């Protein structure tokens, strides 16, 4: 992402922003401030962390899929799958936290002309964290269902409360 914003010069971008080609002093400074914030987001380390987490998840998915497909070692397959889910959840929560922190700071510094940007910031936080939690819980529920459905069969003898056994009738 840093490569995408490396050639951006806020003053040049803002100089040609208006249709007439000129912005007044306040609008120009606001435009420069906005572009500088976007450049800082583009140059942040969050993109490197996200790319590294994606690469790790891809590498983890290969043995996980092979062991799960083979279905010979259920315990190892489930451990790999839960580990994959844990890495995915941690990386998504980290990236979401960093982006929400940046956007909250961005909304508080942005001139709002009487608009309440706190509501937008709060809605953004709820929607972002809620989306990640919903995704991770859905994947965890699917994996829990797989773990439950693939458990080895057990035979447990439970006495019935509705039927009398032959020994109790004789007494």
Residues 139, 121: contact at Cβ < 8 Å? no
Q: What is the pLDDT of residues 112-138, one digit of tens each?
A: 666 677 778 888 899 999 999 999 999
What's residue 89's pLDDT?
A: 96
Mean pLDDT across the chain: 81
- Distance from C-alpha of 128 to C-alpha of 92, rounded to nearest angstrom: 10
Evaluate whether residue 168 is within a structural domain.
no
Residues 132, 51: contact at Cβ < 8 Å? no
- Distance from C-alpha of 108 to C-alpha of 92, rounded to nearest angstrom: 24
Q: Which residues of the chain have pLDDT under 50?
A: none
Evaluate whether residue 157 is within a structural domain.
no
Evaluate whether residue 156 is within a structural domain.
no
Evaluate whether residue 8 is within a structural domain.
yes
Evaluate whether residue 28 is within a structural domain.
yes
What's residue 166's pLDDT?
A: 60
């Amino acid at each position: 992402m840093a490569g995408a914003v490396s050639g951006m010069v806020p003053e040049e971008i803002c100089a040609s922003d208006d249709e007439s080609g000129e912005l007044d002093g306040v609008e120009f400074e606001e435009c420069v401030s906005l572009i500088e914030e976007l450049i800082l987001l583009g140059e942040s380390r969050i993109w490197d962390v996200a790319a590294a987490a994606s690469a790790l998840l891809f590498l983890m998915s290969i043995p996980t899929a092979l062991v799960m497909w083979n279905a010979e070692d259920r315990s190892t397959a489930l451990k790999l799958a839960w580990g994959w889910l844990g890495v995915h959840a941690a990386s998504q929560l980290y990236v979401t936290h960093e982006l929400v922190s940046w956007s909250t700071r961005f909304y508080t510094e942005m001139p709002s002309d009487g608009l309440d940007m706190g509501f937008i910031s709060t809605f953004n936080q709820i929607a972002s964290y809620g989306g990640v939690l919903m995704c991770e819980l859905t994947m965890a529920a699917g994996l829990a269902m797989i773990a439950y459905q693939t458990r080895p069969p057990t035979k447990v003898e439970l006495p019935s409360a509705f039927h009398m056994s032959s020994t109790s009738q004789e007494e």
